[in-house]
Amino acid sequence: MDQSQATADAGRLADAHERLEAVRDLLAALWQRNQVVVLSDHMNAYHEAMETVLTDRPGLLGRPDGAAALSEWVGGA
């Protein structure tokens, strides 16, 4: 986490974000291996879907049916 803070302080926010996500993924794998479900699991699933929306599907909102299409995709994600 100290490396992520230093990276963020240096203005490299995307790199810090990636580093923290790697930590999150390691913790999630540990919990899954031990059959532990925590709130973070659900938040991580939401976060992953929202990142996909922001990077892969932003054009949906510009379409007349965009809100409905986006809602349908998120609901099935």
At 64-76, the pLDDT tens digits run 888 888 788 777 6
Decide: 68 and 76 in contact? Cβ < 8 Å. Answer: no
Q: What is the mean pLDDT of residues 55-67?
A: 79
* CA–CA dist 62, 54 (Å, integer): 13
Decide: 27 and 41 in contact? Cβ < 8 Å. Answer: no
More confidently predicted of 30 and 4: 30
Decide: 44 and 24 in contact? Cβ < 8 Å. Answer: yes
Rg (CA), the chain: 16
Global pTM reads 0.54
pLDDT at 7: 84
Query: Look-up: residue for tokens 């999150």?
Result: 24
pLDDT at 77: 53
Run of H or E including 73: helix 66-76
